[in-house]
Amino acid sequence: SQKIEQNSEALNIQEGKTATLTCNYTNYSPAYLQWYRQDPGRGPVFLLLIRENEKEKRKERLKVTFDTTLKQSLFHITASQPADSATYLCALERSWGKLQFGAGTQVVVTP
Amino acid sequence: DAGVIQSPRHEVTEMGQEVTLRCKPISGHDYLFWYRQTMMRGLELLIYFNNNVPIDDSGMPEDRFSAKMPNASFSTLKIQPSEPRDSAVYFCASRRGGDTQYFGPGTRLTVL
């Protein structure tokens, strides 16, 4: 079966440091992978999309890498701020139009 | 644009009652998705529509769940009869073509 694994434990990090989140998958050959942010009581918000032929994508303080050989994506938040505290979800395309989401990793940035 | 609109935001009902959740997608979006989120199972896709036509309902848990999209600006997810295990947050999302998905604020459903 197709599986997506994200760190289940919350990531506690000090303001200014870099947070690194992992998304591992099995039995997939996704054309792309997406990262979303979810705040309590709200719906997920799209952050970044990276395609299978891209190694790295950046958006402001966010960076995503995608290694199709390792079947892994890394999500980095550089110079983290308390406002970055949220749950981050990775999602892979199962078939055209359908996304499967990981369980998410909670990030807590302390001042 | 106001984004994806869902109603109600919270619903508390008793077991056996019918529940109807509503969604208005972003104007111009041709895909609509219904998801359910729980602590145990995370975010699961229930069903999605393209141009108002149901494309894949393989995630619908059982016959008690049904979804309709009578026009491009409105969709409903109905549970009849509801059970306590249906308690979850239900999200609607919409998308234009192969673009990214935009989620609504969700409906928190509690079935007593």
Q: What percent of chain A has pLDDT over 70?
A: 100
- Asked if the model's pLDDT at residue B1 lies above 70, the reply is no
User: CB contact, 8 Å: A44 with chain B?
Assistant: yes
Name the residue with tokens 């609504």. B104
> How many angstroms separate the CA atoms of B76 and B42, rounded?
21
Per DSSP bridges, beta strands B10-13 and B31-38 are unpaired
| Closest CA of chain A from B40, distance in Å | 9
Q: Please give the pLDDT value at position A97.
A: 72
Contacts of B50 in chain A (CB under 8 A): 97
Name the residue with tokens 């110079």. A79
> How many angstroms separate the CA atoms of A50 and A70, rounded?
15
> How many angstroms separate the CA atoms of B47 and B31, rounded?
11
Across the beta sheet with A62-67, what order do the strands follow? A3-6, A19-26, A72-77, A62-67, A56-59
Q: Please give the pLDDT value at position B57.
A: 93
> How many angstroms separate the CA atoms of A22 and B59, rounded?
26
Residues B50 and B33: beta-carbon distance below 8 Å: no
Q: Which two tokens stand for residue A22?
A: 């992992």
Q: Which of B34, B101, B102, B108 to mutate to test the interface with A (most CBs of A within 10 A)?
A: B101
> How many angstroms separate the CA atoms of B6 and A6, rounded?
28
First vs last C-alpha separation in chain B: 36
Over residues A91-95, mean pLDDT? 84
Over residues B97-109, mean pLDDT? 92
pLDDT digit string, tens, across residues B63-85: 999 999 999 999 999 999 999 99
| Average pLDDT taken over every residue of chain B | 95
- At residue A32, the 3 state secondary structure works out as strand
- At residue B13, the 3 state secondary structure works out as strand
Check CB contact under 8 Å for A101 and B31.
Answer: no
pLDDT digit string, tens, across residues B3-50: 999 999 999 999 999 999 999 999 999 999 999 999 999 999 999 999
- Give residue B94's identity as a one-letter amino acid code: S
- Asked if the model's pLDDT at residue A62 lies above 90, the reply is yes
